[in-house]
Every structure is written in structure tokens, then in C-alpha cells.
Homo-oligomer: A and B are copies of this chain.
């Protein structure tokens, strides 16, 4: 399973590709950051993010895209930009028929560190260990994108079983 994780942001959009299956060692395929200038117009920044994500999809051909689920309880200005950047990432994936999964920050932290309240350093340290890297990926947005991809690989089997159960139940309800 090859997953592109996206930590959405207008100024820095973390992207990381991880390959593997739950219960086996994971491999980092690529990591980086799509940046847009803070003084550019919003529309142009969204176009730059689209081009960046498209390049990552072209180069790495992920089977799944995992995007951080955005909540609005944080800083108002930041959260709008995050929601807009995440929309572009989801759009790029869905347009290609790539399934998009959303994971909350605490789900991601819990997946890689065991605690939903882990700090950035702890997430970075675990990503480094789990992917057997020489050093934590920088900036933190890049590490978070890898953590999202890892989270998706580990959570996916349970999610898929749940989706299958729901689909089965729904089809039974329709035929019964």
C-alpha cells in the first residue's frame, strides 16, 4: 500500500509518501513541502498548491491520499487557509479516482506515538524510528505528512473492514 500523506497549509503544505502494510516495516518513498509565497493572491496560492500536489501524484502514484482533518477551534485565519489547502489536495486526489481518507491530528499522534496528545518532537522522533531515517524530517509539516501516511496504513485495515460491514449491512437492508 502506497500512501501520500498531506499536512495541509497555504504557506507550507507537508507531503510524504510511505509504502508498506500494517505489521511490517514501512518505507519512506519521498518527503517534501509545497510552499506558496505569503504575499501572493489567494487564488494564485491555491493554483501553486494544486501544481505541487499534482507533481507528487504524478511522480509517486499513491493508491491512497491521507489528509489531515481540519477543525476550526484554532486560529481563525490559519484554519481557513488550512481548509482551503486541504480542499485542493482532496480535489486533486478525487479527480484521479484516488480514495481520500481524513484523519484527525490526535488520531495521527495516537497512531505513531501511542498518545493523542504527543508533541511535535515526539511525532518527529517516532516517524524517524518507524521509517528508519537518519534524522527527523524537517520542517515539522513534512514529518506530520509522513505520520499521516503511516497512520493511514495502520488504520486502513480496520477502516476497510468497517466499510465492508456497512456496505454489507446496507445491501442486506435493501434486498431484505
Contact = CB atoms under 8 A, between A and B. Distances in A.
Interface of A: 41-44, 46-47, 50, 70-73, 76, 79-80, 83-88, 90-91, 93-95, 100, 102
A46 B80 contact: no
A16 to B, nearest CB: 19
Nearest to A87: B84
A63 B84 CA distance: 23
A111 B95 CA distance: 37
Copies in the complex: 2
A43 B90 contact: yes
Contacts of A86: 84
12 contacts: A42-B100, A42-B102, A43-B90, A43-B100, A46-B91, A47-B94, A50-B95, A80-B83, A83-B83, A84-B84, A87-B88, A91-B91
Contact of A94 (B41, B80, B91, B100): B41
B95 A47 contact: yes
Contact of A71 (B44, B76, B85, B90): B76
Contacts of A90: 42-43, 46, 84
Given A43-B93, A46-B87, A91-B88, A70 B76 contact: no
A86 B83 CA distance: 10
